[in-house]
């Protein structure tokens, strides 16, 4: 690690099967950042229960997400990678920071507005204060950089506001972090409604492509992707369907939009959709193979997440103790 090494923190919810949106928007960057920086990653299961979960499914999703992230290239020799509920400091700091976050600030969060429309029968307090838990996740580790997709940008701005507010009141306590958002792939859209982001909890199974989908399924989902009635493969913001497919193909191959337009010049959408399906299926097959090995080795997974949690607790406890001291709690 050189002297330019920064502290990186990010997390993902084990709320379902991880999609190519999560991969291109966030996980791909996590894997790359590990080589240069001190990285800390978590499965944000405390966040996941803001939406009603089936307990057995949550447990399965958490272990699968852990194995899948290892298969994607998260390396526990280089990075910490733990399960959020194993490290008590997150919930503790979150409560404290709730008292330094305004009701009005949380009311403006678009993810809260979206999710409360989607889950009208369970608009619980956790769903409302969820961004503060994310603030705590990040500030506990004094993170410099937070690799996220575009949908999390507003939560990162809140993190900066709360950190600055606390620092102003009590003196330098938290590092004020920067968002790290990819230029390409920051917002992969649903294959069925390209005006909506691709989301692993979308009930329409054709709207997302999971990293673990079978090749046949991946190819089928891309063939069915909603596009406009024209058929020229050209990036155009007024044509979100085809533009989303071009973005996905660009993320998977590293080719620029220009190169892709030339490659598919004169061919219709059908051939392009088939090419993306095959390309993504091929890209993912190595990850799927590694996943099938990791998921069978439960004791290895347990060793990895326990060791990481112990180290994460040590690191985060320093920040929590400092906060406790500053606000005047008796030790």
Residues that bind ligand ATP (CB under 6 A): 12-13, 15, 19, 21-22, 25-26, 148-149, 151-152, 186-188, 197-201
Catalytic residue list contains 200 = yes
Per-residue x/- track, 110-129, ligand LTN (CB under 6 A): --------------------
Which span (61-69, 131-139, 202-210, 259-267) binds ligand LTN, by CB under 6 A? Answer: 131-139
From 7, 19, 152, 173, residue interacting with ligand LTN (rule: CB under 6 A): 152
Q: How far is the CB of 19 from ligand ATP (least distance, A)?
A: 6
Please identify, using beta-carbon distances, which residue of 165 and 187 lies nearer to ligand ATP.
187
Local structure of residue 207 (DSSP, 8 states) = G
Q: How far is the CB of 89 from ligand LTN (least distance, A)?
A: 13
Report d(CA 316, CA 140) in Å as an integer.
5
Report d(CA 25, CA 121) in Å as an integer.
30
**Is 207 one of the binding residues for ligand LTN (CB under 6 A)?**
no
- Which listed option, ligand ATP, ligand LTN, none, makes contact with residue 21 (CB within 5 to 8 Å by class)? ligand ATP
Report d(CA 22, CA 202) in Å as an integer.
13
Catalytic residue list contains 197 = yes
- Which listed option, ligand ATP, ligand LTN, none, makes contact with residue 137 (CB within 5 to 8 Å by class)? ligand LTN
Name, in order, each residue with C-beta under 8 angstroms of 271's C-beta and a sequence gap of 6 or more: 264
Q: How far is the CB of 318 from ligand ATP (least distance, A)?
A: 26
Cβ(163)–Cβ(177) below 8 Å: yes
- 36-65 residues in contact with ligand LTN (CB under 6 A) are 44, 47
**319-324, long-range: CB < 8 A, 24+ apart:** 319/89, 319/93, 319/139, 319/140, 319/141, 319/142, 319/173, 319/174, 320/89, 320/92, 320/93, 320/140, 322/173, 323/93, 323/96, 323/166, 323/173
Instruction: Report which of 134, 105, 139 is spatially closest to residue 323, judged by C-alpha positions.
Output: 139
Catalytic residue list contains 262 = no
Please identify, using beta-carbon distances, which residue of 190 and 227 lies nearer to ligand ATP.
190
Out of 28, 200, 221, 273, the active site residue is 200
Chain positions contacting ligand LTN, by CB under 6 A:
9-13, 44, 47, 134, 137-138, 146, 148, 152, 155
Catalytic residues: 115, 197, 200
């Amino acid at each position: 690690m050189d002297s330019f090494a920064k502290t990186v923190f990010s997390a993902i919810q084990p709320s379902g099967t991880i999609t190519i949106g999560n991969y291109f928007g966030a996980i791909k960057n996590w894997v790359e950042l590990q080589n240069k920086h001190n990285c800390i990653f978590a499965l944000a299961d405390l966040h996941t229960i803001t939406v009603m979960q089936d307990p057995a499914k949550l447990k399965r999703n958490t272990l699968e997400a852990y194995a899948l992230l290892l298969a994607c290239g998260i390396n526990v020799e280089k990075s910490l990678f733990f399960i959020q509920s194993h490290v008590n400091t997150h919930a503790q700091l979150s409560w404290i920071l709730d008292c330094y976050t305004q009701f009005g600030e949380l009311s403006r969060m678009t993810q809260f507005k979206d999710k409360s429309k989607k889950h009208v029968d369970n608009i619980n307090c956790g769903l409302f204060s969820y961004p503060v838990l994310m603030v705590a996740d990040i500030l506990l580790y004094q993170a410099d950089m937070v690799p996220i997709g575009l949908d999390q940008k507003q939560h990162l701005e809140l993190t900066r506001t709360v950190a600055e507010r606390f620092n102003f009141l009590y003196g330098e306590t938290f590092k004020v972090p920067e968002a790290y958002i990819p230029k390409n792939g920051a917002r992969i859209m649903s294959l069925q409604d390209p005006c909506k982001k691709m989301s692993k909890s979308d009930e329409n199974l054709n709207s997302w492509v999971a990293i673990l989908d079978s090749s046949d399924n991946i190819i089928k989902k891309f063939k069915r992707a909603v596009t406009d009635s024209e058929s020229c493969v050209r990036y155009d913001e007024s044509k979100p369907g085809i533009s989303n497919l071009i973005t996905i193909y660009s993320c998977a191959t590293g080719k620029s939009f220009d190169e892709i337009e030339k490659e598919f010049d004169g061919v219709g959408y059908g051939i392009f959709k088939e090419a993306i399906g095959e390309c993504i299926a091929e890209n993912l097959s190595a990850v799927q193979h590694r996943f099938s090995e990791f998921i069978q080795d439960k004791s290895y997974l347990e060793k990895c997440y326990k060791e990481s949690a112990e180290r994460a607790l040590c690191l985060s406890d320093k920040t929590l103790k400092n906060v406790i001291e500053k606000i005047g709690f008796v030790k």
